Structure formats: structure tokens, C-alpha cells
């Protein structure tokens, strides 16, 4: 279990709960989904990550930027869709 630096949400004062969630990270045209535990405000949804998790995000973004996806498991494909304004 994570240690909580806050008793209440620093944004709204709401109650915090530890949850497992997915964080989407991007870099160098690539996207990674990282599953982590975080404190989440039950009122506003603010996510609070511990220092180690933030460092992990930085490492993943750096690898994505360098196009270094060794050790990452492909989970599908991503596509860009451009739409024309109607009217």
C-alpha cells in the first residue's frame, strides 16, 4: 500500500482512495499504457502519484521518445482519423 502524503485531496479537499488505474504516456509518436496504483480523489478525480511512479513515467516517456520499445508488450495499433468539418 502507498504512503499517503495527503489526508485529503489538495485540489478540492475530497476523500482519497487508493486505486489501480491506467496512465497513458506518449513520446516520439508512440503511446504506452502503464498500470499503476495511485491515490484518487473520490470527489474531483484528481490523481496523486508517488515519487517512484512519477520517475517510472519519466523513464517510459524517455524510451518512447528514443523509439526504444524493448520490453514493452504490443497491445494493438493506434490510428489518426481526420474529419472534415460538416456544413
Domain boundary assignment for the chain: 21-65
Residue 43 has what pLDDT?
96
50-57, Cβ contacts within 8 angstroms, sequence gap of 24 or more:
50/2, 50/3, 57/23, 57/25
Arithmetic mean of pLDDT over the chain: 91
Over residues 15-72, the pLDDT tens digits come to 999 999 999 999 988 899 999 999 999 999 999 999 999 999 999 999 999 999 999 9
Residue 87 is predicted with a pLDDT of 65
CA dihedral 43, 47, 50, 54 (to 10 degrees): -170
What's the pLDDT tens digit per position in 30-45? Answer: 899 999 999 999 999 9
pLDDT at 1 over 50: no
Cα gap 8→43, rounded to integer Å = 10
Amino acid at each position: 500500500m502507498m504512503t499517503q502524503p495527503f489526508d485529503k485531496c489538495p485540489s478540492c479537499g475530497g476523500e482519497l482512495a487508493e486505486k489501480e488505474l491506467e496512465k497513458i504516456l506518449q513520446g516520439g509518436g508512440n503511446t504506452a499504457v502503464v498500470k499503476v496504483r495511485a491515490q484518487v480523489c473520490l470527489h474531483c478525480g484528481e490523481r496523486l502519484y508517488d515519487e517512484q511512479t512519477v520517475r517510472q513515467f519519466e523513464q517510459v516517456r524517455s524510451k518512447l521518445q528514443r523509439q526504444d520499445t524493448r520490453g514493452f508488450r504490443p497491445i494493438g495499433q493506434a490510428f489518426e482519423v481526420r474529419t472534415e468539418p460538416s456544413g
